[in-house]
């Protein structure tokens, strides 16, 4: 059956997957955004819905320390004996494990794992549990290391042992993202090499024993480094899963590039079918594609819109670092935002900000906002956000004693555009495409007026970061007694399913 990649559009890197009966659960990296580690559910591998987040309590991890590109890295999800386990790396805290009987909610406090390296993974096998990362050994070569562990306490039950140095052990290869599987008579080690960019790839090795020695596969499992005109770049960091029909699949990260491997949407989650040849995993032509064929049992039906419900905090909302919850008042028919004196540009700020991953290259985001600021330096509206050093704002703001409707930009060269604005509510709309953003506004339910067209944030002004573009709401001020911003509606909608 035909389907299209990515299966999770927008900023969703480092995917990991597990199956429980006919249900599939998938997690991705979230970096400086809170809640951390989104959890997605599917019954067919191609239609996914976010059901929760693993880290959703303020006291679980020190999010106030998470600078851009830091925070939560590369989770792995596994299921064993009625319990879900997730392990990941939180920068500045280290590796940890959490568990829950319900993947949508109720995750435990993290237990710290005293093992270095990043991209940790778990293997439950024959009554024992193994833990691996890319911790180096005494020779300081890049490596994958393995230990036995208690997943509930994080206690190491054996010394960590190097089990593999990658496909080439004579030079650094950015060896990372290890997963160990026991399939048939073999233990398979899947890893990423080449760095999460143009040279990214998935490599593999196997052994009769979990401790090795591991023999490298003589072919790359997956890479787009040698291809052009596929519409895909940076393929790597994958995780295998067997479906209920006995077919094998891999989820992996990749980008739909604007140029080289870069995409302002960030790294997304792709799905490919896996075959076995000579007891090695084989992925088609070894290249990831936007349009694929696989032994699916359901038609793909991408979600085409998302509407905010202000009666509760939906799990899709992302906040920067540790939110100040007193600044968010969900009232059912509206959301009240208290402007923060922390601004979006503050490297470790905790601004009033909530946003969604941009749904796709071609989409719209629209909000009705009622905000009449009284102090200079105050503003509220929409933001297209990559990091504190690269974003747009589309807002009502006060400057020189007057209120203005304004488009501004942090990072790169852009001359702000402002016009005097009316009091009362205004509808703001951002229309996105692969090459540009359109800004439109309307007062009093009048037709939208398109104001300006600007190029998306690029690698030159936002950097080749680990995250991707978010679009959402914010409010900031220059005076602590500023009025609240009333958000009357917010939604994102696909303009088309455009590849």
How distant is the alpha carbon of residue 398 from its chain centre?
34
Tell me the CB-side half-sphere exposure of residue 430, using CA atoms within 13 A.
30
Residue 384: pLDDT band (50, 70, 90) is very high
How distant is the alpha carbon of residue 344 from its chain centre?
19
Say what the pLDDT of residue 227 is. Answer: 84
Residue 303: pLDDT band (50, 70, 90) is confident
Residue 381: pLDDT band (50, 70, 90) is very high
Q: Which of 40-54, 84-98, 106-120, 393-407 has the lowest mean pLDDT?
A: 393-407
Highest-confidence segment of 101-110, 250-259, 422-431: 101-110
Question: Higher confidence at residue 145 or residue 260?
Answer: 145
User: Which H or E run contains 53?
Assistant: strand 49-55
Check whether 462 has a pLDDT greater than 70: no
Question: Higher confidence at residue 89 or residue 460?
Answer: 89
The structure's pTM equals 0.96
Check whether 444 has a pLDDT greater than 90: no
Q: How many CB atoms lie within 10 A of CB 158?
A: 13
pLDDT in tens, 29-82: 999 999 999 999 999 999 999 999 999 998 999 999 999 999 999 999 999 999
On whether the CB atoms of residues 412 and 390 are closer than 8 A, the answer is yes
Q: Which parts of 358-389 are beta strand (E)?
A: 363-370, 379-387
Q: For the chain, what are the domain ranges?
A: 2-293, 305-494
Residue 498: pLDDT band (50, 70, 90) is very low
Check whether 114 has a pLDDT greater than 90: yes
3-state secondary structure 230-270: CCCEEEEEEEEEECCCCCEEEEEEEECCCECCECCCCCEEE
Kindly state the average pLDDT of the residues 148-169: 94
Say what the pLDDT of residue 450 is. Answer: 83
Counting residues of the chain whose pLDDT is more than 70, the rounded percentage is 97
Say what the pLDDT of residue 499 is. Answer: 38
User: Which H or E run contains 280?
Assistant: strand 280-282
DSSP state of 366: E
pLDDT in tens, 175-220: 999 999 999 999 999 999 999 988 999 999 999 999 999 999 999 9
pLDDT in tens, 244-288: 999 999 999 999 988 767 889 999 999 999 999 999 999 999 999
Say what the pLDDT of residue 461 is. Answer: 64
Kindly state the average pLDDT of the residues 5-21: 97
Q: What is the mean pLDDT of the chain?
A: 93
CATH 3.30.390.10 fits 2-293, yes or no: no
Say what the pLDDT of residue 460 is. Answer: 64
pLDDT in tens, 318-377: 999 999 999 999 999 999 999 999 999 999 999 999 999 999 999 999 999 999 999 999
Check whether 172 has a pLDDT greater than 70: no
Q: Which of 109-118, 212-221, 416-425 has the lowest mean pLDDT?
A: 416-425
Beta pairing partners, 410:
391
Check whether 476 has a pLDDT greater than 70: yes
Three-state SS at 102: coil
How distant is the alpha carbon of residue 436 from its chain centre?
22
Kindly state the average pLDDT of the residues 441-456: 82
Say what the pLDDT of residue 459 is. Answer: 65
Closest CA to 227 of 193, 254, 191: 254
How distant is the alpha carbon of residue 309 from its chain centre?
22
DSSP readout, 55-101?
E-STTSS-GGG--TT-SEEEEEEEEETTEEEEEEEETTTEEEEEEES
Q: What gap in Å lies between CA 474 and CA 187, rounded to an integer?
A: 49
Highest-confidence segment of 75-89, 222-236, 416-430, 441-455: 75-89
Say what the pLDDT of residue 157 is. Answer: 98
Q: What gap in Å lies between CA 179 and CA 74, rounded to an integer?
A: 12
Say what the pLDDT of residue 497 is. Answer: 44
pLDDT in tens, 125-140: 999 999 999 999 998 8
Q: Class for domain 305-494, per CATH?
A: mainly beta
Check whether 496 has a pLDDT greater than 60: no
- The residues that are catalytic are 14, 176
């Amino acid at each position: 059956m035909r389907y299209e990649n990515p299966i999770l559009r927008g900023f969703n890197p480092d995917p990991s997957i597990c199956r429980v009966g006919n249900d599939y659960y998938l997690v991705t990296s979230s970096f400086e955004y809170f809640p951390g580690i989104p959890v997605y559910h599917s019954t067919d591998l191609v239609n996914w819905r976010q059901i929760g987040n693993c880290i959703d309590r303020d006291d679980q991890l020190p999010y106030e320390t998470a600078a851009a590109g830091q925070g939560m890295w590369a989770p792995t999800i596994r299921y064993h004996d009625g319990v879900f386990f997730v392990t990941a790396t939180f920068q500045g805290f280290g590796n940890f494990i959490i568990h829950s009987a319900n993947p949508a909610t109720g995750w435990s406090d993290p237990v710290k794992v005293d093992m270095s390296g990043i991209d940790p993974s778990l293997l439950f096998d024959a009554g024992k549990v193994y833990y691996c990362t890319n911790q180096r050994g005494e020779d300081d070569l890049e490596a994958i290391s393995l230990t036995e562990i208690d997943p509930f306490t994080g206690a190491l039950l054996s010394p960590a042992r190097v089990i593999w140095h990658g496909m080439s052990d004579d030079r650094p290869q950015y060896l990372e993202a290890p997963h160990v599987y026991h399939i048939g008579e073999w233990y398979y080690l899947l890893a990423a090499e080449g760095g999460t960019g143009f040279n990214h790839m998935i490599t593999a090795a196997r052994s009769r024993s979990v401790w090795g020695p591991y023999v490298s596969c003589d072919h790359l499992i997956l890479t787009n480094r040698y291809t052009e005109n596929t519409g895909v770049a940076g393929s790597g960091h994958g995780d295998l899963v067997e479906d209920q029909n006995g077919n094998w699949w891999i989820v992996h990260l990749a980008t739909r590039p604007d140029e080289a491997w870069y995409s302002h949407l960030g790294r997304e989650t792709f799905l490919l079918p896996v075959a076995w040849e000579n007891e090695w995993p084989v992925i088609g032509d070894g290249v990831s594609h936007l349009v694929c064929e696989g032994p699916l049992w359901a038609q793909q039906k991408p979600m085409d819109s998302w509407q905010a419900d202000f009666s509760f905090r939906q799990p899709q909302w992302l906040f920067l670092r540790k939110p100040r919850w007193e600044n968010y008042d969900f009232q059912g028919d509206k959301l009240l935002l208290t402007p923060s004196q922390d601004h979006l540009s503050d490297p470790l700020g905790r601004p009033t900000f909530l946003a969604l991953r941009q749904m796709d290259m071609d989409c719209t985001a629209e909000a009705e906002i009622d905000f009449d600021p009284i102090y200079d330096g105050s503003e509220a509206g929409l933001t297209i956000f990559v990091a504190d050093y690269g974003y747009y704002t589309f807002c009502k703001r006060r400057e020189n004693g007057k209120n203005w409707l304004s488009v501004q930009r942090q990072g790169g060269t852009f001359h702000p555009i402002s016009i005097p604005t009316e009091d009362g509510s205004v509808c703001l709309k951002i229309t996105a495409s692969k090459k540009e953003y359109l800004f439109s506004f309307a007062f009093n339910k009048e037709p939208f007026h398109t104001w300006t067209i600007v190029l998306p944030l690029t690698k030159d002004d936002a950097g080749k970061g680990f995250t991707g573009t978010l679009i959402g709401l914010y409010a900031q001020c220059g005076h602590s007694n500023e009025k609240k911003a009333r958000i009357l509606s917010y939604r994102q909608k696909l303009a088309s399913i455009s590849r």
